Amino acid sequence: MRWLDRTSELRGRLDGVNLPRPVLLAGDGVAALLLEQGALRECALAEAMAMKPTLAPLLDHTLLKAGATSGEIAGLCAEAREHGFASVCVNPAWVPFAAAQLAGSRVRVCTVVGFPLGATSLAAKAFEAEQALRDGAAEVDMVLDLGAARDGDWAHVRADFRGLRNAVPRPAVLKVILETCLLDDEQKRRACALAAEEGLDFVKTSTGFSTGGATTADVALMRSVVGEGIGVKASGGIRTFEQALAMVQAGATRLGVSASLAIVGAAPGPALGY
């Protein structure tokens, strides 16, 4: 059976969870790996699609706009509980509030550090991450120091990754946002390789606040570098089930989206946003 290593984190989160619909864990243009009533099943893609599988447990339900209100964050958390999303992704100031809203649920709180530019010191990113964990975050998405990467200062990038991994020890999850639209392919490869070497849990495409978002080409490139042992998160511009499925088929195991309800069929039409 394929994709077992790739989906280990996802399957671990779903262990023992009673799911009303099959979950599409991974796939390509021909076949898919489903979790159905606690059992894994690999089948033809057409057969999987006929079962109307959900991608909900792969989604980080995201609200990172500057003007988000408590009512909007509360609504985000309620939606995540209802639909069984992987996490809510909110700015650090909202972590304590989101953690309280989600207490007793399996939905995690995810936050961002050095966001959205990555142009802050390691000490600042580490402090922000440590505070977020104290406030109730279980996952931290850090932004790559893009200037260092574009300068080829890979020792600095490695030190950043190592410092954040120390600040965000397991079982907390650490992701690095590459902002792929600002890097060339060789820079993406090098950043992914260093992230894997330094023990990060995911590499992620985009902040959603720059000149471009996720592409299937970037997701496939990132997966080809990190192999099957760590996660790939696609984010930025994913607004429909079809777009989300394409990212999973390219190698993504997590999707950062604000259009989560549209993707799971609980809201009409594509949404605008992250």
* H or E element in which residue 204 lies: strand 202-204
Q: Which of the residues 60, 188, 204, 218 is marked catalytic?
A: 204
Q: What is the C-alpha separation between 34 and 231, in angstroms, rounded?
A: 17
What phi, psi does 252 have (nearest 5°)? -75, 145
- Helix, strand, coil fractions of the chain, as percent rounded to 5: 40, 20, 40
Report the DSSP beta bridge partners of residue 39: 36
Whether residue 175 lies in the annotated active site: no
Peptide bond into 96 cis (omega under 30): no
Of 141, 145, 160, 201, the catalytic one is 141
Q: Note if 204 is an active site residue.
A: yes
Residue from 125, 175, 188, 233 carrying the catalytic annotation: 233
Q: Identify residue 254 by its one-letter amino acid code.
A: R
Three-state DSSP at 114 gives coil
Which residues fall within 8 angstroms of residue 68, CB to CB, at 6 or more apart?
90, 91, 94
- 151 a catalytic residue: no
The DSSP call for residue 268 is S
**Residue 120: Cβ within 10 Å count:** 16
Catalytic residue annotation: 141, 204, 233
